[in-house]
């Protein structure tokens, strides 16, 4: 199963969102126009808009209202990627040159700022102040998560709770509010809005944990980066934390850490129980995601949300 198969019933609305994304970044300033459309054309799965539309199906689905939320969330995601690339000094993303490498760091920073602000401006087309509040809060959390990630780099003494809080802020919250705001903008009942938030949060956690697993064991060609890239950059994720703190072989592993033998650490983690532990945790989140939807009416959208959860559990890259 591919994600595009799951989205198939919603493809015409997704095409419409794509055109709206184009319009959203339209500006007379030629540099910003170029950097923003470069970013947009670099692609991405547009998973946040998909969640918005799926959430909207549980209320009065109106694409003219939902589009503002969908575009806003995708732009927030895009802006955070541009700033990440500055920080990571990344030359490529999804096989395309990053804004910071094609232009420079200064341009990349202001392009990110511009897109963040654009995102919030577009959301103000909807007059519900609760939506504005949730969106600006999401950016606050996103930035806090990024700072936490920098702070926790190379820190082996961080707890599992630290890790979970970080991936919540970095990834899960934005997916949670995509589902939530879709339902909210469609005037779904508070219970439905809440359930979609819970679904999104759990799917987001599972998504990031899976991402962190695949960084160790995924196909290097498909991932487009060497195995263990996170660890090489000092980003200590669940499988590594397990090896260091919990595994029966922790003592040996700590020796490797002490001597900074990264290649060996990666080899050990790839074959360790840490991977299985992380998989089981991801599955637990996915189960909770599905449970949150149980009381909701059966419809195509619920079906798609459940399929997405299964897809995340099974994905290989």
151 lies in the binding site for its own copies (CB under 8 A):
yes
Taking CB under 8 A as the criterion, the residue among 46, 48, 67, 118 binding its own copies is: 118
58, 114, 216, 285: which one binds its own copies (CB under 8 A): 114
Q: Comparing C-alpha atoms, which of 145, 165, 141, 149 is closest to residue 236?
A: 149
Can you tell me which of 22, 37, 44, 136 binds its own copies, judged by CB under 8 A? 136
Using rule CB under 8 A, residue 163 touches its own copies: no
Please tell me the distance from the alpha carbon of residue 213 to that of residue 129, in angstroms, as a whole number. Answer: 38
Contacting range for its own copies; rule: CB under 8 A; set: 109-117, 248-256, 287-295, 299-307: 109-117
Dist. CA 61–CA 10, nearest whole Å: 12
By CB under 8 A, which span of 12-20, 139-147, 191-199, 207-215 interacts with its own copies? 139-147
Q: Is 185 exposed, middle or buried (0-12, 13-18, 19+ CB in 10 A)?
A: buried
Residue whose structure tokens are 């969102």: 17
Residue 116 makes contact with its own copies by CB under 8 A: yes
- Is position 183 an interface residue for its own copies (rule: CB under 8 A)? no
Helix/strand number for the chain, H first, E second = 18, 2
Of the two residues 23 and 137, which places its CB atom closer to its own copies in the complex? 137
Picking from 203, 238, 201, the residue whose alpha carbon sits closest to that of residue 217 is: 238
The yes or no reply on residue 148 touching its own copies (CB under 8 A) is yes
Q: Per CB under 8 A, does 144 bind its own copies? A: yes
Phi then psi for 90, rounded to 5 degrees?
-85, 135
Binding to its own copies by residue 252, rule CB under 8 A? Answer: no
Contact predicate 53/181, CB 8 Å? no
Q: Is 29 in the site for its own copies (CB under 8 A)?
A: yes
Six token digits for residue 16: 């419409």
Smallest gap from residue 234 Cβ to its own copies (A): 12
Q: Per residue in 145-166, is it b (16+ CB within 10 Å) or e — as a string?
A: bbebbeebeeeeebeeebbbbb
Residue 246 makes contact with its own copies by CB under 8 A: no
Site for its own copies, rule CB under 8 A: 27, 29-32, 83, 86-87, 105-107, 109-114, 116-118, 120-121, 123-124, 126-129, 132-133, 136-137, 139-140, 142-144, 146-148, 150-151
């Amino acid at each position: 199963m591919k994600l595009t198969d799951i989205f198939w019933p919603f493809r015409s609305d997704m095409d419409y969102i794509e055109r709206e994304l184009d319009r959203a970044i339209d500006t007379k300033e030629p540099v910003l126009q170029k950097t923003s459309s470069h970013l947009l054309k670099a692609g991405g799965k547009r998973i946040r808009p998909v969640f918005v539309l799926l959430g909207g199906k549980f209320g009065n689905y109106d694409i003219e209202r939902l589009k503002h939320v969908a575009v806003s969330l995708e732009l927030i995601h895009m802006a955070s990627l541009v700033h990440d690339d500055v920080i990571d000094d990344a030359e490529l993303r999804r096989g395309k040159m990053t804004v910071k490498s094609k232009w420079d760091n200064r341009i990349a920073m202001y392009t990110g700022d511009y897109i963040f602000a654009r995102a919030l401006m577009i959301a103000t087309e909807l007059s519900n102040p609760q939506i504005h509040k949730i969106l600006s809060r999401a950016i606050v959390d996103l930035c806090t998560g990024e700072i936490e990630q920098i702070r926790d780099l190379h820190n082996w003494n961080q707890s599992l709770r630290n890790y979970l809080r970080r991936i919540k802020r970095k990834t899960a919250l934005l997916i949670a509010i995509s589902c939530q705001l879709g339902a909210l903008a469609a005037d779904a009942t508070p219970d439905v809005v809440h359930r979609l938030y819970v679904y999104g949060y759990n799917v987001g956690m599972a998504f990031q944990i899976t991402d962190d697993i695949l960084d160790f064991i995924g196909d290097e060609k498909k991932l487009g980066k060497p195995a263990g890239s996170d660890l090489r950059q000092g980003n200590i994720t669940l499988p590594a934390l397990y090896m260091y703190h919990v595994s029966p072989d922790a003592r040996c592993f700590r020796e490797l850490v002490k001597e900074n033998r990264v290649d060996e650490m990666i080899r050990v983690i790839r074959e360790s129980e840490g991977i299985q532990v992380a998989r089981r945790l991801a599955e637990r989140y996915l189960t909770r995601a599905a449970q949150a939807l149980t009381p909701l009416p059966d419809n195509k959208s619920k079906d798609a949300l459940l399929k997405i959860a299964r897809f995340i559990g099974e994905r290989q890259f």
